[in-house]
Amino acid sequence: MFFDKKANEKPHKGSALVGYDLNNEFSQISCMIYGSENSEAETVPTVMGSRQYNIPLALCKLKDSGKWLYGKEALNSAGEEGAYLITDLVGLARKGERIEIGEEKTEAVGLLALFIKRSLSLLSMIVDPENIGAIMFTVDELDDVMVEVLAKAAANLNLKTPHIYFQSHTESFYNFMLHQSEELWNYQTLACEHDGKRLKTYRMERNKKTTPIVVLIEEQTYCDVILPKPDEEEDVKASLYGLADSKFTDILKKQCEERIVSCAYLLGDGFKNDWAKESLRFLCRNRRVFQGNNLFSKGACYALLEKVQPSEAGAAHIFLGADKLKSNIGMNVLKRGKESYYALLDAGQNWYEARRVCEFLLPGEENTLSFVITPLNGRRAEIQEIVLEGAPVREGAFCRYEMEIKMSSVACVEARITDLGFGELFPAAGKVWRKQFVVAD
């Protein structure tokens, strides 16, 4: 018998669902009101009425007043006497650096939190920043170090909501497509992001033979699509743009070779100049092409909406990215005298969010827990057992336990089982078992 302790609370209707895109050079914010008739995410401009969405990732402390500035204002004030400019906040936070500002040293992750807090004030153009019901941070690469950095930064924000999540740009692309017309992603979909330094492609495909439909996204990074610097001579610019166009065309041909690509998205400041002439001619044949730079922050917003109000498309699909649990994990238990399957962790969850706490009863003479691992890659289900060595033996009675099960990595399950006793006759011994086992990644 199981007693589930999984929380089911949701943000209250009328609160803001916020998607926060964070990369090395800028951030971007999109939001929507949960429960409103308008289900479109709206990106917050840095200047009212403009389409300027990128907030430069910079802080500047003025020596005389001690005032902190952020974004473009910070960059503009960097030349003032005694001003302390800090950039590369994400990189410094990842390294665990302490930044020297005058005679003081400050944790880089604390400065990152300060930047996020100040930038969230831009929400006031659309909604009261105090009314954030949930926030999703999205970043280019989400490894265990980045998860720790974001968790520390989020803890310093003092937000009134407990609904704080993280996901990769790849997953934000998936969630963005879920909320587009299905004709755009009926076949494969391609997103190409150029930040001025490197090109990254995301190719999304669906396996319609599975239930739910499994979605996979292949990522590729190219460092040879080089764009000229702004101060280059015009003839040098023309040459470099032509070479970049040729290489980009070759990449697109390989990405689309023997595949049907329904549509494509060109993302990032790298595409703001009109250099991709031949590549665009190829890309626009028989497919729709869109250009912009706020797809990821909007996708983060839609991801929150899927958590609180799943769409039909979201219910019918499951995304298996690099940081996703690839197997369903559960147990066969007795329910009203009949054996049934009890789900613990679901495939498709981010490994760092996968956690379940529950209580259960075992017959006093049993000390083995059996977990059913069902991969979504078509392989057969397997059984993993945990033996509670030294567990109390209570013939004719039950033993009551609490179990916390979570992922310590994308392929490692960690279980903690605690003896809770059973009433006054069998007080808790306080014994704890910790076990790990590996699942497919």
Note the pLDDT tens digit of each residue in 322-338: 889 999 999 988 777 78
Q: Is residue 140 part of a domain?
A: yes
Residue 167 has pLDDT above 70, yes or no: yes
Q: Are 228 and 135 within one domain?
A: no
Strand order across the 68-70 sheet: 68-70, 59-61, 84-86
Residue 283 has pLDDT above 50, yes or no: yes
Q: Is residue 405 part of a domain?
A: yes
Q: Are 39 and 141 within one domain?
A: yes
Long-range contacts of 418-425 (CB under 8 A, 24+ apart): 419/391, 419/392, 420/359, 422/361, 422/394, 422/397, 422/398, 425/397
CA distance 407 to 1: 23
Work out the average pLDDT over 174-200: 96
Q: Are 212 and 98 within one domain?
A: no
Q: Of 136, 170, 204, which marks where a domain is finished?
A: 170
Q: Is residue 308 part of a domain?
A: no
Cα dist from 75 to 49, 54, 68, 82, whole Å = 22, 13, 12, 14
Question: What single-letter amino acid sits at 275?
Answer: W
CA distance 346 to 352: 13
Work out the average pLDDT over 207-214: 90
Give me the pLDDT at residue 2, please. Answer: 45
Q: Is residue 310 part of a domain?
A: no
Residue 391 has pLDDT above 90, yes or no: no
Q: How many folded domains does the chain comprise?
A: 3
Q: Is residue 384 part of a domain?
A: yes
Q: Are 7 and 35 within one domain?
A: yes
Q: Is residue 311 part of a domain?
A: no
Q: Is residue 297 part of a domain?
A: no
3-state secondary structure of 245: helix
Q: Are 370 and 252 within one domain?
A: no
What are the tens digits of pLDDT across the range 1-35? 444 444 457 898 899 999 999 999 999 999 999 99
Give me the pLDDT at residue 240, please. Answer: 95
What are the tens digits of pLDDT across the range 184-195? 999 999 999 999
Q: Are 175 and 160 within one domain?
A: no
What are the tens digits of pLDDT across the range 241-262? 999 999 999 999 999 999 999 9
3-state secondary structure of 338: strand
Backbone angles phi, psi at 221, to 5 degrees: -120, 135
Q: Are 288 and 340 within one domain?
A: no
**CATH number of the domain bearing residue 136:** 3.30.420.40
Beta strands at 104-107 and 98-101: parallel, antiparallel or unpaired:
antiparallel
Q: Are 244 and 122 within one domain?
A: no
| Relative orientation angle of helices 144-155 and 108-119, to the nearest 10 degrees | 60
Q: Mean pLDDT lowest for which of 227-231, 381-385, 388-392?
A: 388-392
Mean pLDDT of the chain: 91
**Containing domain of residue 43, as a range?**
2-170
Q: Of 170, 190, 214, which marks where a domain is finished?
A: 170
Residue with tokens 């996703």: 324
Q: Are 38 and 151 within one domain?
A: yes
**CATH number of the domain bearing residue 415:** 2.60.34
The answer to whether 221 and 204 have CB atoms below 8 angstroms apart is: no
Q: Of 115, 139, 170, which marks where a domain is finished?
A: 170
Q: Is residue 312 part of a domain?
A: no
Q: Are 188 and 160 within one domain?
A: no
Give me the pLDDT at residue 128, please. Answer: 87
Question: pTM for this structure?
Answer: 0.88
The answer to whether 373 and 327 have CB atoms below 8 angstroms apart is: yes
The answer to whether 309 and 178 have CB atoms below 8 angstroms apart is: no
Q: Are 53 and 164 within one domain?
A: yes
Q: Are 393 and 427 within one domain?
A: yes
